Amino acid sequence: MTVNFLVTRAIPEPGMSLLRTAGTVTVPEDLLDSSALNDACRSGDYQIVVAHLSDRFDEDILQHARIGGISNYAVGVNNIDIDSATRRSIMVANTPGVLLTEATADVAMLLLLAVARRCVEADQFLRDGRFTGWQPELLLGHGVGGKRLGLAGFGRIARATARRALAFGMEVVFCPRPPNAGDARRTDLGELGGLVTQIDWYELLETSDYVSLHVPLTTSTTHLVDVEALTRMKSTAILINTSRGPVVDEGALVEALRQGWIAGAGLDVFEHEPAVTPGLVDLPNTVLLPHVGSATVPVRNEMARLCALNAIAMGSNETPPHPVNPEAW
C-alpha cells in the first residue's frame, strides 16, 4: 500500500526527493489555514503530515484527525499539543540535528556579541555617514571575557553555547530546569565537567552579566522571564533569547529596557511572532532577528533529510529516528 504524505509547505532538498521515492506527496498550492488543515487531517487521505511551526495542531484538530504521524520540520514542537497527539496514537517526530544545535548556538553568541558591542547601532552610525574618525569614547560597549553567562536550560543548544562562551573567556553557570531551583540529582556535565557550574534560577538571574534562554516552551516556561525576573537581573545585564518568544513577557521586557532595569536584549524569537511588541524596535539597545537560528543552507538541508526520514519511517509503521512521543504507538 502506498503511503500518502501531506506536506503543508515544501521542505528543502533532499527532503522532497526522499519523500517522493517513498510514497505519494501532496503539497497544497496555498498555505493551509487551520480549517483547511483540520479538513485535510480528518479526510483520511493522508497517513503522515510533514508540518511546520506555523501549523498549529491543537486538541480541536487532533481529536478528529485520521493520521498516524506528524513529522515537524523543526526541533521545537510547541505548535503541537503532544499530550493530545499521544492520546490519539499520533506519533510526533522532530529534527534535532547536530548542525541545528551548533547553528542556533552560533546565533546565541552572535546576539550576545552584537548587543554587547552595539554592532547594529554602530553599523547604522557608519551607514548614516556619521563616522568622522576614531574617537576614544565612540560607541563603547560591554565586556565579554571574564563576564558571567547564565544559561537557562542545559540541553544540546545550551551546552553548545557554553562551549563557545568558554572560548571567549566567559564564566558559565546554568540552571537545567528553571524556574525550579535545581535537582537533588546533579546534571551530567559530560565534557563540560569542571568548566561550568549549576546554580539556582534566582541566583543565576541576580549574578549573571548575560542570561541566555535555552528552554523548550511549556506551561512552566511561559513568561519565565517576567517583571519579577527582569527586576532581579543586574542593571548591566543583557538578555538573549533564541528559544521561543513566549518564554519572555515581551511587554515587561520593553519596560525593563526603557527603564534601565537591564542593559540590553538580543532576540531571535518573539512572543507574538511575527508581530513584535511595540516599542522594541525603537530601542537602540536591542538586536532583533527574524527567527533565523537554524537558517543556514547545510542546517536546513539536514533538517529536511531528518524530517523526511522521520516521515518515511512512520509511513512504514516504524518508530522514526527522532520520536518526540514514542509512547504514542
Which of the residues are catalytic? Answer: 244, 273, 291
Q: Which of 102, 171 has the CB closer to ligand GLV?
A: 102
How far apart are CB 295 and ligand GLV at their closest, in Å?
Answer: 9
Q: Which of 4, 212 has the CB closer to ligand GLV?
A: 212
How far apart are CB 126 and ligand GLV at their closest, in Å?
Answer: 31
How far apart are CB 74 and ligand GLV at their closest, in Å?
Answer: 3
CB burial string 46-58: b at 16+ within 10 A, e below = bbbbbbebebebe
How far apart are CB 217 and ligand GLV at their closest, in Å?
Answer: 10
Residues with Cβ within 8 Å of residue 310, at least 6 apart in sequence: 69, 71, 93, 94, 95, 320, 321, 322, 323
Q: Which of 247, 257 has the CB closer to ligand GLV?
A: 247
Using CB under 6 A as the criterion, which residues of the chain lie in contact with ligand GLV when the complex forms?
A: 74-76, 96, 155-158, 214, 293-294
Of 66, 93, 91, 57, which is closest to residue 327 (Cα–Cα)? 91
* CB-nearest residue to ligand GLV: 155
- Provide φ and ψ at 289, rounded to 5°: -120, 150
Q: Which of 208, 212 has the CB closer to ligand GLV?
A: 212
Helices (H), the chain: 15-22, 34-42, 59-62, 82-87, 98-116, 119-127, 156-167, 201-207, 227-232, 250-259, 297-315
Of 309, 316, 292, which is closest to residue 103 (Cα–Cα)? 292
